[in-house]
């Protein structure tokens, strides 16, 4: 038995020795794969000596060691100088006389140079635009019409659409409140993938045009619905980027972002700026109105709000509109922001009853 015990002990030692050898080999292989011991190389970054410590030195290591902060050139808008494109003119880097990236290897004596991208302001182009006429109020809560529209020549940012300068070419006739039995339907807080198609189907079946007030981040998610609204001949309206209810009390820069970013989104989808800006919750200030007008947007509120966003039954929504309707009314409804089944359910009856009263439907297009 003693012999057997001795043999077992010897095997255990051999196993331990083998395990140690395997471990050392693994460490050696890993060390070799990692490039061996870290080394220090002296290079030049934009003419200054820099020491880089790494297993495999690269341009990225030289950037970190030097504290240099290469940056791309930014494209700014023509008027508000918003950032339109942060990487408009990318930074260029070279190692010696060859183009390089952050991953490019470097060695002792490498000469690294960066050429930062130059910031730029978007080009300004001239357009001729139709205007409603003389005397249009700063905020429209009903339909205003002119017998003869006017035309302006505007200098606008090519990418942003910001109006830099404006000159009247033809004033047009004075505007006046619509006195005929005409109303305008408007829908807020979309586009919504469930409710907006139902609203579009109902309007299409009744040959009615409306105004859709879009939230920017929803438009980004559902550009196909924005295109469908435009294809059906509806008017598009900027309802801010994120639907901030107290936007009028926010800083000027945030107001610009909320109004202009959404207009940018709509323009990127459709190729044209929206016609109107509608304030979330009706929250307005001179600053908000000024920012919207500077972007070439008319400010649209409403004259009838049946508060369908609180989800009352369809007959209640219908009654709240019919009992208050009059010539030139702008009717506020919703196709987004929650369950809009009751709004959808009463829409055909609303159109039918308005027509029975002699009303037609206004289209700003």
pLDDT of residue 4: 42
- Which member of 234, 239, 243, 334 is catalytic? 334
- Give per-residue pLDDT as tens, 253-269: 999 999 999 999 999 99
**Cα dihedral 248/310/340/354 (nearest 10):** -90
pLDDT of residue 38: 78
- 3-class DSSP state of 136: coil
- Other beta carbons within 10 Å of 246: 9
- Separation CA 121–CA 340 (nearest Å): 43
Which portions of the chain are predicted below pLDDT 50? 1-10, 31-34
Helix extents (H) in the chain: 2-33, 59-66, 195-206, 216-221, 223-231, 252-270, 286-294, 314-322, 341-356
pLDDT of residue 1: 40
- Phi/psi at 80 (5° precision): -85, -10
User: How far from 20 is each of 8, 16, 23, 256, CA to CA, in Å?
Assistant: 19, 6, 5, 67
CA 175 to chain centre: 34
pLDDT of residue 115: 96
Residue with tokens 């055909």: 348
Q: 257-295 burial, b for 16+ CB within 10 Å, e for fewer?
A: bbbbbbbbbbbebbeebbbbbbbbeeebeebbbebbebb
188 is catalytic: yes
- Which member of 152, 188, 273, 335 is catalytic? 188
Give the closest residue to 161 by CA, choosing from 126, 213, 118. Answer: 126
pLDDT of residue 3: 44
pLDDT of residue 98: 96
pTM above 0.85, yes or no: no
pLDDT of residue 132: 86
Which structural domains are found in the chain, ordered by start? 39-121 (3.10.20), 178-361 (3.20.20.370)
Looking at the DSSP assignment, which residues form a beta bridge with residue 131? 150
pLDDT of residue 58: 96
pLDDT of residue 141: 97
């Amino acid at each position: 038995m003693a012999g057997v015990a001795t043999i077992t002990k010897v095997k255990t030692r051999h196993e331990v020795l083998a395990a140690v050898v395997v471990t050392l080999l693994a460490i050696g292989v890993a060390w070799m794969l990692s490039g061996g011991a870290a080394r220090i190389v002296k290079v030049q970054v934009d003419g200054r000596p820099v020491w880089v410590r790494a297993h495999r030195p690269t341009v990225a290591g030289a950037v970190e060691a030097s504290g240099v902060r290469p940056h791309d050139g930014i494209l700014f808008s023509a008027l508000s100088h918003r950032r339109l494109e942060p990487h408009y003119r990318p930074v260029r880097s070279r190692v010696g006389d060859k183009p390089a990236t952050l991953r490019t290897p470097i060695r002792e004596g490498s000469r690294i140079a960066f050429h930062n991208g130059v910031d730029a302001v978007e080009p300004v182009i001239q357009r001729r635009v139709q205007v409603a006429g003389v005397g249009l109020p700063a905020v429209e809560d009903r339909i205003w019409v002119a017998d003869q529209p006017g035309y302006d020549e505007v200098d606008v940012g090519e990418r942003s659409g910001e109006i830099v300068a404006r000159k009247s070419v033809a004033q047009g006739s004075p505007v006046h409140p619509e006195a005929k039995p005409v109303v305008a339907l408007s829908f807020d807080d979309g586009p919504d993938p469930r409710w907006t198609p139902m609203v579009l189907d109902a309007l299409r079946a009744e040959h009615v045009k409306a105004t859709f007030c879009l939230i920017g981040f929803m438009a980004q998610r559902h550009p196909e619905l924005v295109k469908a609204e435009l294809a059906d001949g509806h008017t598009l309206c900027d309802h801010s980027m994120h639907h901030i209810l107290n936007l009028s009390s926010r800083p000027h820069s945030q107001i610009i972002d909320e109004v202009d970013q959404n207009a940018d989104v709509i323009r990127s989808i459709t190729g044209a700026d929206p016609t109107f800006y509608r304030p979330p919750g009706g929250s307005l200030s001179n600053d908000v109105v000024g920012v919207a007008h500077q972007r070439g947007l008319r400010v649209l509120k409403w004259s009838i709000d049946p508060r369908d966003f609180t989800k009352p039954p369809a007959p209640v929504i219908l009654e709240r509109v019919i009992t208050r309707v009059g010539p030139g009314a702008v009717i506020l409804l919703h196709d987004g922001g929650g369950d809009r089944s009751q709004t959808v359910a009463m829409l055909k009856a609303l159109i039918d009853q308005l027509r029975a009263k002699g009303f037609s439907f206004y289209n700003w297009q």
